Amino acid sequence: MPTLLRQDGFEIRIYFDDHDPPHIHAFKAGGQAKIALGSLDVSPSLMLVQGMSAKDARKAIELVTENQIELLEKWEEFHG
């Protein structure tokens, strides 16, 4: 599971053997958010939050939205 982005205390990762829909795992301070990447026409959205504050979950969505295209490209690279 490579870390694709480190910013503001977050680590954004994609698992090699993961499933659809395309998504990432955002980790911070012992919590995690699973975020659907959406598509060029659909914004990222929360799928699951575990042990992460609502404020951090919102920030994770912002980070993913800012990097959506690159993260979608990585998902495609890993999962074809």
- Give residue 9's pLDDT: 97
pTM for the full predicted model: 0.95
- Give residue 63's pLDDT: 98
pLDDT by residue for the chain (80 residues), tens only, comes to 789 999 999 999 999 989 999 999 999 999 999 999 999 999 999 999 999 999 999 999 999 999 999 999 999 999 98
- Give residue 22's pLDDT: 97
- Give residue 34's pLDDT: 98
The dihedral built from the CA positions of residue 25, 27, 32 and 36, taken in this order, carries a sign that is: negative
